[in-house]
Each structure stands twice: as structure tokens, then as C-alpha cells.
Amino acid sequence: MSDEHYRKLERMYLAAPTNEYYRPRISISEGQAVLEVDVTPKLYHSAGAMHGSHYFKVLDDSAFFAVNSLVTDVFVLTVTYTVHLLRPVSEGVVTGTGRVVHSSRRLFVAESVLTDSDGHEIARGNGTFMKSRSELGPELGYA
């Protein structure tokens, strides 16, 4: 793998329209991705803490890009993803660290851990991923 591939993936991720809402920060290396998102009231549910759907996004995205760091020709797809919500968070920054735990020619397994600003684990997840038919290229923001 190469640093150029990782930087292109980072730019592709940050250019996704959904990330205009989240304003995440991402760092990708071989088999790993670290993603940070500021916890703000716009992410809260009615009880004043970050909604679980946002936990899922950070966990899935960090696992996804850990996998795509190992795949240089096509976009990968999430096949399944399981989330375990462990504790609420209502301030600071959440950090999702994804890493690949298994890879084969067609299937990848990755796990992610979500921590708060104090380093407490607030969620974890794992999923399976596979290669798509969509080639990585400028039309996907991979540039």
C-alpha cells in the first residue's frame, strides 16, 4: 500500500456530501483508520446525548476505510455491521479507530472502537465488507 492511496481515500471521504454535516477528521494507514467527530448538540437525541446513529456512522466509517486501505482498485461495501453501545457521550470529541482483523480475496472483517475525549470506550462494532464493482477514481472523489 502507499501513502498516496491513503491520502486519496481521505480526500474521497471528506468530499462526501454527508460529511458536510459531520465535519470529521480522518487518518488512514495500512489496515487502520482513525476518525474524529466533535460532539455537538446537533447530534443529540431528546435526552441530551449523542444519538446512536452517529455512533454507527463513526464506527462503520472507520472500519470501512481500514478495509479500503487494503483495496486499491475498487470501492468496498459494508455487508453487515453490528454495534454495541456502551455509554452515552454529550461533549468533546469521539474517536473511532477501525482495524482489519481478517482479509481474504473476497471478504474482509474489521472492528472499530469508539472512545470519548477521556479515552473511555463508549461503543464498539464489527462488520464484514466486500469489494464492489465501482472502480476507485476521480468520479468518486478518489483523486
Q: Dig out the grid coordinates for 100 from the structure.
A: 482489519
Tell me the pLDDT tens digit for each residue of 70-98.
999 999 999 999 999 999 999 999 999 99
- Whole-prediction pTM: 0.95
> What confidence tier does 1 reach under pLDDT thresholds 50, 70, 90?
confident
**Helix intervals (H) in 69-140:** none
Q: Dig out the grid coordinates for 32 from the structure.
A: 487502520
User: Residue 20: what pLDDT?
Assistant: 93
**Beta strands of 7-143 (E only): which ranges?**
25-29, 32-38, 74-85, 93-103, 107-115, 121-135
User: Residue 121: what pLDDT?
Assistant: 98
Q: Dig out the grid coordinates for 111 from the structure.
A: 472492528
User: Residue 118: what pLDDT?
Assistant: 97
Tell me the pLDDT tens digit for each residue of 31-53.
999 999 999 999 999 999 999 99
Q: Is the pLDDT of residue 5 over 90?
A: yes
Task: Taking each helix axis as running N to C, give the angle between helix 3-15 and helix 52-68, from 0 to 180 degrees, rounded to the nearest 10.
Answer: 150
Domains of the chain with bracketed CATH: 3-140 (3.10.129.10)
Q: Is the pLDDT of residue 100 over 80?
A: yes
What's the mean pLDDT in 107-131? 98
